[in-house]
Amino acid sequence: MRSVPASVARVLDAALATDPDREALVTRTQRLSYAGLDRAANQAARALAGLGIGPGDRVAASLPNEADVVIAFHGAMRLGAVWVGVNRALAPPEKRFLLTDSGASWLLCDDELPAMGVPVLALSGWREACAAGDPGPLERSPDPFAPAGIAYTSGTTGHPKGAVHSQHNLLVPGAVLVETRGYGPELRKGDCFPFTVLNMAVLTTLLVSQAGGCSIVMDRIDAEGVAEWIRTERVTTWNGPPALLHSLATEPSVAPGDLATLREVWTGGADCPEAIRQAFEAKFSRPVLATYGLTEAPTVVSIDAPDGPHRSGASGRPLPHVRVRIAAPDGATVPPGETGEICVAPADDRYRLMLGYWEHPEATAAALAGGELHTGDLGFLDHHGYLHVRDRQSLVIIRGGANVYPAEVERVLHELPEVGACAVLGVPDERLGERVVALVETAAGAVFGQDAARQHCLANLARYKIPERFVVVEALPRNAMGKIIRADLAGLV
């Protein structure tokens, strides 16, 4: 069983001891060895200390995908501070809420942001502060089980809640993935999601450092840009959203050879239509590995094995550090094949549940009742141990007493080539309780035909599940991870 580093502050130590000159981080403007990243993290820690940041203080960052965000994260961890990632795409009121709710002491950002309610240090000032810091060794003994990061969930309604994780738990997913997938120094993991997101820190620098590999920080999210990064930097593992997989599979300017170095391609299993997976594999001769993860875990709970097989509609098998149970409404465990709430518990002493929701004791008690994480996701385990995610409990549409899972209807709609993306929701109805409505974002250059879509649904779904209305929208609202923001859908109906 692979050991977990003592803390994030010590995560670089193994690579520093064996090959300090090995490449650790590549961005658009910088290449850092493990020794270089270690020195930069020391400078960042001293720069943060100069701002008055110490153990337990919250430091927020809203930075672009560059070396700065990775260095700032490592610096904060060396001080025992608490990282609060703030998506750059959020509106000012949304950013202010995260800063106020977390009690952040400072915000590091790429532009001056007025009226944030906390002191703001722009990127130029942050770089100057780091450059002035001593790169030499510093004492690194943070409590590995104290709060280290607050990751805000997008949620479906109301304000987001902050899931709190320790340095130890931020390290566990990387340790398990390195062990189970045999990663080593040859790992070159590329990622294009925003690096301010705590889950991305877990799956980038913290995972890669434990393998002794290199983290590739991508600054483009278009098909041509991602393909260029993969080809130029010889990326071996990449994680992308379904929409980008579709673009790569259909973009004529992206050749199969552009992705030839890839050994693994990950995406969210419940979010990725099988048609997209098949199109990608047909073009690039690389399977798309399904995953299931969540902010509260943190990150990956289940994943397909690198050498398969993939089961249609499934999100892989649970990783060995977690135990997944499917619970009925009364809490009893349901047998394989039956749907219930997905619950996650430690399977060994490496893993601990999240520390809770930041300053939300009641929500914490409910989510962690009985010593397991109640995810709020509905799904089932099949007889082969694969996890199938159906939907969020809060999203289930109850139409005339019958349950309609939006994800099930969305999968059928995604089989239509003219559907680029879609979201199904329930709208209030006096007689039935709720009626089913589908919001459709058409594929580039395509025309959506409602009659044809209805006939396709009739052929593949029970009548009560068929949308009664199809609403074509220019674009569906999405968060930093490319997922549709459900809370914003009602305003589009």
Predicted TM-score (pTM) of this structure: 0.85
The reported pLDDT for the residue numbered 117 is 87
Q: Is residue 189 part of a domain?
A: yes
For residue 462, being part of any structural domain is answered with yes
For residue 423, the domain's CATH number is 3.30.300.30
In this structure, are 419 and 374 located in the same domain?
Answer: no
Structural domain ending residue among the three candidates 387, 414, 430: 387
CB 54 within 8 A of CB 108: no
- CATH label of the domain that carries residue 365: 3.40.50.12780
- What single string gives the DSSP state of each residue in 75-123? HHHHHT-EEEE--TTS-HHHHHHHHHHHT-SEEEESS--TT-SS-EEEH
The upper half-sphere exposure of residue 420, i.e. CA atoms within 13 Å in the direction of its Cβ, equals 17
CB-CB contact of 28 with 219 (8 Å): yes
Shared domain for 309 and 454, answered yes or no, is no
Clarify whether residues 305 and 380 are in a common domain: yes
pLDDT digits (tens, 9 = 90+) for 306-348: 987 889 989 999 999 999 999 999 999 999 999 999 999 999 9
Structure tokens at 300: 């990956």
Q: Which of 354, 387, 420 is the last residue of a domain?
A: 387
Q: Is residue 377 domain-shared with residue 403, that is, in the same domain?
A: no
pLDDT tens string 92-145: 888 888 999 999 999 999 876 667 889 999 999 999 999 999 999 988 889 999
Cα 191 to Cα 288: distance, rounded to the nearest angstrom: 15
1 in any annotated domain? no
Task: Give dist(CA 442, CA 110) in Å, integer.
Answer: 34
The parent domain of residue 446 ranges over 396-492
Q: Are 68 and 196 in contact (CB under 8 A)?
A: no
Q: What is the pLDDT of residue 157?
A: 47
Taking the CA atoms of residue 227, residue 230, residue 232 and residue 235 in that order, the dihedral angle to the nearest 10 degrees is -170
51 with 68, same domain: the answer is: yes
Q: Give the tokens for residue 212.
A: 């002794």
202 in a structural domain: yes
Strands 419-429, 214-217: pairing is unpaired
- Structurally, the chain folds into a number of domains equal to 2
CA 233 to chain centre: 22
3-state helix, strand, coil in the chain (%, to 5): 35, 25, 40
- For residues 404 and 458, membership in a common domain is answered with yes
What is the rounded CA–CA span in Å between residue 479 and residue 229? Answer: 23
283 inside domain: yes
Domain identity same for 367 and 435: no
> Same domain, yes or no, for 382 and 400?
no
- Do 240 and 315 belong to one domain? yes
Q: Are residues 354 and 432 in the same domain?
A: no
**Considering the domain boundaries, does residue 2 fall inside one?**
no
Question: How far is it, in rounded angstroms, from Cα 491 to Cα 399?
Answer: 20
Domain boundary among 330, 363, 387: 387
Distance between CA 142 and CA 102 in Å, rounded?
A: 20
- Rounded CA separation 31/442 (Å): 40
Do 323 and 438 share a domain, yes or no? no
Polymer length in residues for the chain: 493
CA neighbours within 13 Å on the CB side: how many for 429?
16
pLDDT less than 70: residues of the chain: 1, 112-114, 154-158, 270, 401
**Residue 2 has what pLDDT?**
72
420 Cβ contact partners less than 8 Å away, ≥ 6 residues apart: 243, 246, 441, 442, 443, 444, 446
- The answer on 162 and 183 residing in a single domain is yes
Residue 3 falls within a domain, yes or no?
no
Q: Which residues pair with 84 in a beta bridge?
A: 60, 150
C-alpha radius of gyration, the chain, whole number = 22
